[in-house]
Amino acid sequence: MSKTLSFIKKSNQVLFFVAVTLFITVVSIDFITDLFDNKYEPPKIALVDNKDEHTQVKKTQYTIEYFAKLKDVYIFELSSKEIDINQTHDGEIVEMFAKPKVSLDLYTAPYLSKNAVNLMFVRENGERHMLLKKDGLILEISKAKFATNEAGYLLDKNLYLIINEDTNQSGYLDPDDSAKLFTSTFDGKDLSLVLQDIGAFNLISDNKVLISQKGKSPKFYAFEVHSSTLTHLNTSINTSTE
């Protein structure tokens, strides 16, 4: 009798172990599947031409989302899956929206969304200003910072990493195209090109930016934001043989 009870007890333990192992395996498979199904995809903005008079003009569908506030200026991000290559934003006239979607999420993230194509700078007096006259793919922004009591380095201007040309003629704006570094005032005005073919940029001290440039011979630059001075850093390696 005791042997029978011992056998049943051991059998139950084995069955329990098998069941737990099976459960863990199924959960792990589901987790890995979800992980790969939701893997990151780089931004990709389709370029469309609505200039043809024989086709129905379809205005760009934007999603407007609050991004940040600098001094008296509210910054809103405009994102879209496509860009009309003939559409321009002239000055402060921004009346070409086709029933734009408005995100009700007011959480301020440190980064732009994947398909950011423009930024709108708004004051409470009703003044509006678009960063880009023609939409592009805005990959990154570093906001101006004037207060010494905030974390990080001081920055007199906004910095932007933008792709605004289909340099590989793919019909899309994506990370395979050449990126450019721009500056503007904190309220999005006086947009100015700093350098093309950017690999990355990093603020390394107050108003001092280190920039890497792509190409056959990658280069490094130091950029002084306050004076808009760009200096090439000589990182060439000289070798000799005896």
Give the span between the Cα atoms of 46 and 174, in whole angstroms: 9
Q: Among 94-108, 132-146, 163-177, 190-204, where is mean pLDDT lowest?
A: 94-108
For residue 8, pLDDT beyond 80: no
- 79-128 pLDDT tens trace: 999 998 888 887 544 444 455 687 777 777 778 988 999 999 999 999 99
For residue 59, pLDDT beyond 90: no
> What's the pLDDT score for residue 89?
83
pLDDT confidence bin for 230, thresholds 50/70/90: very high
For residue 34, pLDDT beyond 60: no
For residue 177, pLDDT beyond 80: yes
In contact, 181 and 144? CB cutoff 8 Å? no
Q: What is the mean pLDDT of residues 31-54?
A: 69
In contact, 230 and 212? CB cutoff 8 Å? no
Q: Among 8-12, 60-64, 84-88, 150-154, where is mean pLDDT lowest?
A: 8-12
Average per-residue pLDDT for the chain: 83
> What's the pLDDT score for residue 239?
77
Give the span between the Cα atoms of 230 and 222, in whole angstroms: 6
Give the span between the Cα atoms of 235 and 166, in whole angstroms: 30
In contact, 180 and 198? CB cutoff 8 Å? yes
Percent of the chain with pLDDT over 90: 56
Give the closest residue to 112 by CA, choosing from 157, 161, 177, 56.
161
- 115-157 pLDDT tens trace: 999 999 999 999 999 999 999 999 999 999 998 777 789 999 9
Length of the chain measured in residues: 242
> What's the pLDDT score for residue 147?
83
> Residue 86 gets which letter from DSSP?
T
